[in-house]
Amino acid sequence: MIHSTAIIHPQAQVGSGCEVGPFCVIGEHVTLGENCRLHSHVVVDGHTRLGQGNEIFPFAVIGKKTQDLKWKGGVTRLEIGDSNVFREGVTIHCATNDGAATVLGSHNLLLTYVHIAHDCRLGDHIIMSGYAGLAGHVVVEDHAVLGGYTAVHQFCRIGTRCMTGGCSRIPQDVAPYTIVEGNPAVARAINKINLERAGVSEAAQSALRAAYKIIFREDLSTANALAKVEAELPALPEVQHLVQFIRTSERGICK
């Protein structure tokens, strides 16, 4: 299952059932879990650990050194979960500071030429369309969808079950359950289709729509809007997560 032209360092750990295609390069400190598939011309390097069942397409480069100019050396890592798909040309970098890690969860789909920079933290079931890019220290929650060419500023957070429109510039946090779009991105609506597909209850969807109107459409300060949401709407988990996400935002949210 390992092509004769692949170059695998003797100290690399390659799990059972892995396929390593032509001209792949696997570095000394790499661990591949069971049943990973590297199609061809894939580079996996650095202190990088992948779980089981990941699939990596040609010309992806996973785990190389950060591009951050603050890099001073040390051991930095990349941790990746299970059953992710990395399409052609994807790049993912290790963290910047000694002992730190860039982290991806499981069941994510990263399409062509997606870039994930140093120290990002991604959850599970995320879709990033072609050429979307995350600058350093970005956090992406579960089930988010980033449209093609989305560009996310460093230290931003992308909330669960949100969606960004194609070519959006994201200079602030994207609130959970919302759709944002534009340059700079602004909130357009609640992500109704995603909530329906996820089986979110009608009561929770109704409460989120009401919360959206209060936070994004009424002429209130963020603090007053959140207080009104808590006072008038049921304390459902989705509403509480939305409120807590916005309340803890350091960069502000796309409104």
CATH of 7-189, one of 2.160.10.10, 2.160.20.10, 3.90.550.10, 1.20.1290.10: 2.160.10.10
Phi, psi (rounded to 5 degrees) for 164:
-110, 140
Q: How far apart are CA 211 and CA 197, in angstroms?
A: 20
Domain 196-247 falls under CATH 1.10.3720.10: no
Mean pLDDT value of segment 226-253: 98
**What pLDDT is attached to residue 143?**
98
**What pLDDT is attached to residue 166?**
97
Pair 92, 81: CB distance under 8 Å: no
Mean pLDDT value of segment 134-155: 98
Q: What does each C-alpha distance from 115 to 90, 150, 180 come to in angstroms?
A: 6, 10, 20
Q: Which amino acid is at 83?
A: S
- How would residue 134 be classed by pLDDT, with cut points 50, 70 and 90? very high
Tokens 């350093």, residue located: 136
pLDDT above 70 covers a percentage of the chain that reads 100
Phi, psi (rounded to 5 degrees) for 208:
-65, -40
**What pLDDT is attached to residue 17?**
98
Q: How far apart are CA 64 and CA 200, in angstroms?
A: 39
Tell me the pTM.
0.97
| pLDDT tens-digit map of 114-129 | 999 999 999 999 999 9
CA atoms within 13 A on the CB side of 178: 28
**What pLDDT is attached to residue 92?**
98
| pLDDT tens-digit map of 166-220 | 999 999 999 999 999 999 999 999 999 999 999 999 999 999 999 999 999 999 9
Residues annotated as part of the active site:
118-119, 136
How do the domains of the chain map onto residue ranges? 7-189, 196-247
- How would residue 224 be classed by pLDDT, with cut points 50, 70 and 90? very high
Averaged pLDDT score across all residues of the chain: 98
